[in-house]
A and B are shown apart, each in its own frame.
Chain A
Amino acid sequence: MAEAAPSDHHSVGLVTAESADFSGPFPLASGESLPAYTLVYECYGALNADRSNALLVCHALSGHHHAAGYYDLEDPKPGWWDTAIGPGKAIDTNRFFVVALNNLGGCHGSTGPTSTNPATGRPYGPDFPTVTVPDWVNAQAALADRLGIERWAAVVGGSLGGMQALQWALSYPDRVGATVAIASTPRLSAQNIAFNEIARQAITADPDFREGRYLDAGVVPTAGLRLARMLGHVTYQSDDGLREKFGRAVRTGDLDILQDVQFQVESYLQYQGKSFSRRFDANTYLLMTRALDYFDPARAYGDDLVATFAAMKAKLLFISFTTDWRFPSARSREMALAALRAGREVSYVDVDAAQGHDAFLLPVPRYLEVLGTYLRGLEPNP
């Protein structure tokens, strides 16, 4: 994928991260609370006079607040959703004031397991409380208050980010105009949870994990994180996508004498795992996958998805990808039909894309066209 240079007029250009401190206690779904917390975030575009054009971008498992633009002129890579966010792009910063943040429990600047626990003076590590999607949304609401945003024109996210978008419409029905959930699901399947558990076991079985207190010991469970990411990465890709990208191509060795053979796909996965293990915190990975597993908004509505959507006020857009087997099209279709039955304004698009779950981060033309068209049609606040 070609990446836009900072000179690209469809880029938001140079951006800076900001941070907001909140004094607690901040109550969590688990019953625990955080004494105080910090959220890091970025904003793109300008808030209009009646503050009706704010759009919240929620990140997925490994995302963060740096969703678009560049930090400096030497920055080799833009933010993680630069394909979608910028002037004239699907999430048009000429039109919307876009806010992206790093969620509570993250490892990119917001309070999380790597932050200092005021009670001990040492990193929280495994003592960081369990956080859930509703907790994240509550923290995002506190940030919205701080920014003077009473109501989001839209809350948008892919995968775990889509779950937050849905939760917003449930937790704060009067504060969301439209919910856009891309490649998302109303709950994880047993297979999804199983994959998450294997990833967690890979991390906790690493001798350097030290029951989560690796930072105190000055080590990092990189081997475990690497494995967890490799496994996750396979589930984000489709069979077709991997075949197109790598096939059975051999990178090193000789298949005729079966010596030192390394397939391209192996080296690719190893690279992905390695680079991830350098920049991601193991405790955050455990916490985020748990938040995924626990997400099940219909539970509070007698497992009735129609009743769940009936409790919302926002209009909804669901987008899925035909080769996504992590959160397959059937899940989005199920949500769309439940929203229809609940009488919500709802649209659903199933985009034909070979890239599997990861397609939501990629420049798939039809996907970005639908997203852009939908967002263009949103009315500002009444």
Chain B
Amino acid sequence: MTLRPDLKLIAAMVPEGARVLDLGCGDGALLAWLAEHRGVRGYGIEIDEDQITRCIDRGVSVLERDIDEGLSDFPTDGFDVVVMAETLQAVRKPGTVLEHMLRIAPRSIVTFPNFGHWRCRLELASAGRMPIARHLPHAWHDTPNIHLCTFADFEALCAARSLTIYDRKVVNAHYESTWAMNHWPNLFGTIAVYGLSRPGA
């Protein structure tokens, strides 16, 4: 089984044998891969009915629930890593979710699309329209993404909540890293994978 490129980036950050909670786990591809290749014991949280069935079909443990209904009943330090791929921008309270993630596990891995990419800036500045791009494919009125942000916005939130960024990988829509995005990530990066740890950690 080959892993989607963005999930590959995440998988590289998950230690062998870790206990993993995947918020918005989709079809369970990451957890299935981690179980097979890294001896990871994982659980997915998902809300989409068809995706849940796909998880069950591939033998991934999945719990149907809405992240927006809260995570307070998940145990503190119940996991080693909490993953949230391409889901942060769709939750109602991203800051609260991030805090819960770092309560549930000492480390979190978060990915989201960059609204600060130069194409987004250009489209808004020149055409005066909300941008639609490969990494942001939805029209403004029909998008699950209710909290779009730029890398700079996200890092400001982490700073405000004293969440430590211990790792950051910035890639383009093809999940490749280039010289330009290493120097000006918020302008040239389309997707970022952040590794977060607890305040002071």
Contact = CB atoms under 8 A, between A and B. Distances in A.
Contact of B56 (A336, A343, A373): A373
A297 to B, nearest CB: 20
A157 to B, nearest CB: 19
Nearest to B62: A347
Nearest to B63: A348
Nearest to A337: B73
Nearest to A318: B63
B56 A370 contact: yes
Contacts of A244: none
Interface in B21-72: 41, 43, 49, 52-53, 55-59, 61-65
Contacts of B56: 317, 347, 349, 370, 373-374, 377
Interface in A339-382: 340-341, 343, 345-350, 366, 369-370, 373-374, 376-377
How big is chain A's contact interface, by range? 20 to 34
A69 to B, nearest CB: 27
B147 to A, nearest CB: 25
B52 A349 contact: yes
B168 to A, nearest CB: 30
A314 to B, nearest CB: 13
Contacts of B73: 337
A37 to B, nearest CB: 38
Contacts of A337: 63, 73-74
A347 B75 CA distance: 17
Label chain A's interface by main secondary structure: helix
B78 interface: yes
Contacts of A233: none
Given A337-B73, A340-B43, A341-B75, A346 B61 contact: yes
A340 B57 contact: no
Contacts of A341: 75, 78
Contacts of B49: 366
Nearest to B78: A341
A340 B63 contact: yes
Highest count of chain A CB atoms <10 Å: which of B43, B74, B75, B78 = B43
Contact of A373 (B53, B61, B65, B78): B53
B55 A377 contact: no
A95 interface: no
A333 interface: yes
A240 B43 CA distance: 33
Contacts of A374: 56
B189 to A, nearest CB: 34
Interface string A139-160: 0000000000000000000000
Contacts, number: 47
Given A337-B73, A341-B78, A347 B61 contact: yes
A94 to B, nearest CB: 18
B53 A333 contact: no
B105 to A, nearest CB: 13
Interface residues of B, number: 19
Contacts of B55: 347
Nearest to A333: B65
B106 to A, nearest CB: 17
A345 B43 CA distance: 8
A341 B78 CA distance: 7
Given A340-B63, A350-B64, A377-B59, A369 B53 contact: yes
A333 B62 CA distance: 12
Contacts of A377: 56-59
Nearest to A320: B64
A143 B62 CA distance: 33
B79 to A, nearest CB: 10
A345 B78 CA distance: 15
Contacts of B53: 366, 369-370, 373
A184 to B, nearest CB: 16
Contact of A336 (B57, B59, B63): B63
A211 B64 CA distance: 47
A345 B42 CA distance: 9
Nearest to A319: B64
A366 B75 CA distance: 30
B68 to A, nearest CB: 15
A333 B70 CA distance: 13
B179 to A, nearest CB: 44
Highest count of chain B CB atoms <10 Å: which of A347, A366, A370, A376 = A347
B95 to A, nearest CB: 23
Contacts of B64: 348-350
Highest count of chain B CB atoms <10 Å: which of A317, A370, A376 = A370
29 contacts: A333-B65, A336-B63, A337-B73, A337-B74, A340-B43, A340-B61, A340-B63, A340-B78, A341-B75, A341-B78, A343-B41, A346-B63, A347-B55, A347-B56, A347-B61, A347-B62, A348-B63, A349-B52, A349-B64, A350-B64, A350-B65, A366-B49, A370-B52, A370-B53, A370-B56, A373-B53, A376-B57, A377-B56, A377-B58
Leading 7 A-B pairs by shortest Cβ distance? A348-B63, A350-B64, A373-B56, A349-B64, A373-B57, A347-B62, A374-B56
